Structure 1
Amino acid sequence: MGGDDSGTIFGIGKGRDQNRGIGGGGSGLGVNAFLWRGALDTIAFMPLASADPFGGVIITDWYTPPGTSGERFKATIYILSRDLRSDGLRVNIFRQTLQNGQWVDEPIAASTVGDIENKVLARARQMREQLQASS
């Protein structure tokens, strides 16, 4: 991950509008606004099941990457802080494969969670820098 596919997960999809205005580091939200928006932008290609900006929890619905069958992913992202810090974010990714007509839980690549966390943090920092530059 990284390079030309930065802002994507599983090598597909792009984040949402790159020029959205962001309020201060936590105004109006129970969590850091940059981490919150960065998380939403990073997983924008996945269907959203629920998002609680005050509790800091984002849950996607199952997502099947285009061109694949029999494999799906789901994400849960927790924003744990009002500060923009790497330990203020926790990502869980779930993967299932279709075997004999049943969805079976499977492990994900060890680097996947870290890659997603890094993309969220990079997007959050980018938005903070854009806001500071325009001030």
Structure 2
Amino acid sequence: MRAKHLLLALIPGLALLGACGGRDDGNLRTPGRDEYNDNSGRARTLGRSDPAGTGVLIFGTDRSGDRGGAGGDSGSGLGVNAYLWRATLDTLSFMPLASADPFGGVIITDWYTPAASPGERFKATAYVLGRQLRSDGIRVSLFRQIRGANGQWSDAPVSTGTGAELEDRVLARARELRSQSASR
């Protein structure tokens, strides 16, 4: 008899606890996942749900292209111009990547030794400087080391035009990416 009374006392508590677990509208939720759900009340309330249905936008702007300026970023949610960012990665892809910060706009490569000259190595640091596609939106610093007779690497000067040549290649690739994007 006591077991029956105990069971009757537990049923309302279990029903109340079960009601807290989710909604009955067919969308099962797990705690903490609302911010990733396009149809969540939070996304609709904040107006950050992507109308194309591809996800919740990080900065609350649409992905439709320029953000208020000629050559603005492509709406990718990056902290820098998406065309310059992608073009810099493409241009420096022959060197091993050490670090890339898309919000700060810094790309750092590891040391690269060309097959033609095993006695020297290069390292690059690229800075994407803004959200607009401009000629002064990229800076590339190149470092060079030469291996001495004792096997130790020592710093050596880089040709003055090498950094500028890399910047020009990045800009050309960025323009190419932008024109490909516009033609779609």
Partners of 2:176 and 2:118 in 1: CA distance: 34
**Which residue is equivalent to 1:16?**
none
Partners of 2:118 and 2:179 in 1: CA distance: 39
**Which residue is equivalent to 1:59?**
108
- After superposition, the C-alpha distances for 1:15-73 in whole angstroms (9 at most, x for unaligned) are xxxxxxxx842521000000000000001110000000001000000000013211000
RMSD of Structure 2 on Structure 1 (CA): 1.2
**Which residue is equivalent to 1:130?**
180
Which one has a larger percent strand, Structure 1 or Structure 2? 1
Amino acid aligned to 2:102: P
- SS of match in other structure, 1:114: helix
**Which residue is equivalent to 1:106?**
156
Mapping 1:55-94, distance limit 5 Å? 55-94=104-143
**What's the TM-score, normalizing by structure 1?**
0.80
**Which residue is equivalent to 1:45?**
94
**Which residue is equivalent to 1:118?**
168
Greater mean alpha carbon deviation, residues 24-33 or residues 39-48: 24-33
Q: Which runs of 5+ in 2 are unaligned?
A: 1-63, 66-72
Q: Which runs of 5+ in 1 are unaligned?
A: 1-22
| RCO higher in structure (CA 8 A, sep ≥6) | 1
Partners of 2:168 and 2:87 in 1: CA distance: 10
Amino acid aligned to 2:120: E
Partners of 1:118 and 1:55 in 2: CA distance: 21
**What's the TM-score, normalizing by structure 2?**
0.59
